[in-house]
Amino acid sequence: MSFSASIAHAGVLEPGRKSFSPRQQEVLDVVERVFLREGIRAVRMAKLADEAQCSRSTLYELAASKEDLLLLVLDRMMRRTVQRAGDAIREAPGPVDQVRAMLTSGALGFSALGPNFLDAIRGYPPARLLFDRWIAVGRDALERMIDEAVRAREFRPVNAAVVAEGMFAVVMRFTDPEFARSTRVSASDGLAQLVDVLLDGLRPRS
Q: What is the mean pLDDT of residues 173-198?
A: 70
Structural domains of the chain ordered from first start: 3-12+73-200 (1.10.357)
**Each residue of 141-185: pLDDT tens digit?**
999 999 999 999 999 999 999 999 998 888 777 767 666 566 665
Residue 9 pLDDT level (bands cut at 50, 70, 90): very low
Least confident of 2-11, 78-87, 93-102, 195-204: 2-11
* Burial zone of 42 (CB within 10 Å; 0-12 exposed, 13-18 middle, 19+ buried): exposed
CA distance 11 to 17: 10
**Each residue of 29-43: pLDDT tens digit?**
999 999 999 999 989
CA distance 72 to 18: 9
| Mean pLDDT score of the chain | 85
> Whole-prediction pTM value?
0.82
Give the H/E segment covering residue 194: helix 187-200
**Each residue of 19-28: pLDDT tens digit?**
889 999 999 9
Give the angle 89-114-145 at the CA atoms, nearest 5°.
20
Q: Tell me how far the alpha carbon of residue 148 is from its chain's centroid.
A: 23
What is the distance between the terminal CA atoms of the chain, rounded to a whole angstrom? 32
Which residues are CB-contacts of 175 (< 8 A; sequence separation ≥ 6)? 107, 108, 110, 111, 187, 191
pLDDT of residue 16: 45
pLDDT of residue 90: 92
Q: What is the mean pLDDT of residues 191-197?
A: 81
